[in-house]
């Protein structure tokens, strides 16, 4: 049995063990996956011990994604672009590969589970932190007409747009001034975590708009309630969580699990 784990601080409420157990059952892969707590300043030591004792792969969550990026011996292109690692994998030669599956999980959820179109669409990305950064390359790879990054602190959005300008049509600004309305609004800010939402003008919600919040919980977030009140279709980030897990599972095992039934299982429970 190959050993895997998710590491974070806090970690008690992580759904990842349930998700990976369901993937393992579904695909017949013989894995053991647990959740482990690491000290806030002790990630590198934790990871060294985990892999030295035979561990095969780690998922990494708050607050260790930057530590994991430093810990990895090599990075995938998407991990380097994201500047953060949520998946570590021990390679044949014993070296540790760092990947970031969050953006791919987001895009897979939007495109495949929700069936929301991305190609030629006008996309608004809210936030300019780690979550927004990780979403940029996978979103641009879907050939949208435009991605506008809007952030409370405008210069952070502008800096992010400049950094990724070679990869697609990117604009940026603050929360006061938007270039028209959008087909898809993705909330990659952490406002929902504190039950807040960025102050947004209603005009940015286009006709047939879709609104996605990367945060999930038992109740719709303030952003989701706002968007729904303006007749947008809304979704929370639970599908992104399952999507990033599926990408990690694929990296580790070479088998792509079916996310639909696992997402359905999680939706049926309250957590």
CA distance 206 to 122: 9
Cα distances (Å, whole numbers) of residue 89 to 5, 153, 243 = 11, 35, 17
* Residue 257 sits in the site that holds ligand ATR (CB under 6 A): no
Query: Which residue among 26, 27, 171, 190 contacts ligand ATR (CB under 6 A)?
Result: 190
Cβ(209)–Cβ(185) below 8 Å: yes
Of the residues 35, 65, 121, 122, which is catalytic?
65
Site for ligand ATR in 197-236 (CB under 6 A): 198
Query: Which residue among 120, 196, 203, 219 contacts ligand ATR (CB under 6 A)?
Result: 196
Please choose, from the candidates 194, 209, 269, 210, the residue with its C-alpha nearest in 3D space to the C-alpha of residue 238.
269
Is 143 marked as binding a ligand?
no
β-sheet bridge partners, residue 14:
none
Query: Which residue among 55, 127, 138, 144 contacts ligand ATR (CB under 6 A)?
Result: 127
Task: Report residue 131 as tokens.
Answer: 């979550």
* 68 sits in which H/E element: helix 65-71
Is 236 marked as binding a ligand?
no
* Residue 168 sits in the site that holds ligand ATR (CB under 6 A): no
Is 153 marked as binding a ligand?
yes
Query: Which residue among 82, 191, 227, 262 contacts ligand ATR (CB under 6 A)?
Result: 191
Please choose, from the candidates 216, 227, 217, the residue with its C-alpha nearest in 3D space to the C-alpha of residue 185.
227
Q: Binding segment for ligand ATR among 18-26, 28-36, 124-132, 259-267 (CB under 6 A)?
A: 124-132
Q: How far is the CB of 215 from ligand ATR (least distance, A)?
A: 9
Nearer to ligand ATR, 69 or 132 (CB): 132
CA distance 5 to 62: 14
Nearer to ligand ATR, 101 or 151 (CB): 151
Q: How far is the CB of 194 from ligand ATR (least distance, A)?
A: 6
β-sheet bridge partners, residue 173:
150
Query: Which residue among 3, 18, 80, 156 contacts ligand ATR (CB under 6 A)?
Result: 156
Q: How far is the CB of 152 from ligand ATR (least distance, A)?
A: 3
Q: E-assigned strands of 86-202?
A: 87-90, 96-99, 122-126, 146-150, 170-173, 182-187
Nearer to ligand ATR, 51 or 223 (CB): 223
Cβ(251)–Cβ(99) below 8 Å: yes
Q: How far is the CB of 186 from ligand ATR (least distance, A)?
A: 12
Is 14 marked as binding a ligand?
yes
Our answer to whether residue 159 is catalytic in this structure is: no
Q: What are phi and psi of 170, to 5 degrees?
A: -120, 135
Cα distances (Å, whole numbers) of residue 50 to 63, 73, 95 = 18, 15, 13
Q: Which residues are annotated as a binding site for NADP(+)?
A: 77, 127-131, 151-156, 214, 237
Where along the sequence are the contacts to ligand ATR (CB under 6 A)?
Answer: 127-132, 151-153, 156, 189-191, 196, 198
Q: Which of the residues are catalytic?
A: 65
């Amino acid at each position: 049995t190959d050993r895997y784990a998710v590491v974070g601080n806090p970690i008690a409420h992580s759904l990842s063990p349930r998700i990976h157990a369901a993937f393992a059952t579904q695909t017949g892969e013989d894995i053991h996956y647990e959740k482990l707590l690491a000290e806030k300043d002790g990630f590198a030591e934790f990871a060294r011990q985990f892999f030295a004792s035979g561990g095969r792969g780690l998922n990494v969550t708050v607050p260790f994604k930057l530590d994991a990026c430093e810990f990895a011996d090599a990075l995938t292109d998407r991990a380097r672009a994201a500047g953060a690692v949520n998946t570590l994998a021990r390679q044949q030669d014993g070296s540790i590969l760092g990947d970031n599956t969050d953006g791919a999980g987001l895009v897979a959820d939007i495109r495949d589970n929700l069936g929301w179109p991305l190609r030629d669409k006008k996309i608004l990305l809210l936030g300019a932190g780690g979550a927004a950064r990780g979403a940029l390359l996978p979103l641009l790879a879907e050939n949208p007409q435009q991605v506008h990054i809007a952030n409370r602190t405008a210069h952070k959005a502008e800096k992010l747009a400049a950094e990724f300008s070679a990869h697609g049509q990117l604009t940026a600004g603050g929360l006061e001034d938007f270039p028209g309305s959008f087909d898809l609004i993705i909330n990659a800010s952490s406002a929902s975590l504190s039950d807040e939402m960025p102050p947004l003008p209603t005009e940015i919600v286009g006709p047939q708009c879709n609104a996605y919040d990367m945060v999930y919980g038992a109740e719709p977030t303030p952003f989701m309630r706002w968007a729904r009140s303006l007749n947008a279709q809304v979704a929370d980030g639970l599908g992104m969580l399952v999507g990033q897990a599926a990408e990690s599972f694929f990296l580790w095992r070479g088998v792509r699990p079916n996310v639909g039934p696992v997402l359905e299982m999680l939706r049926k429970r309250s957590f």
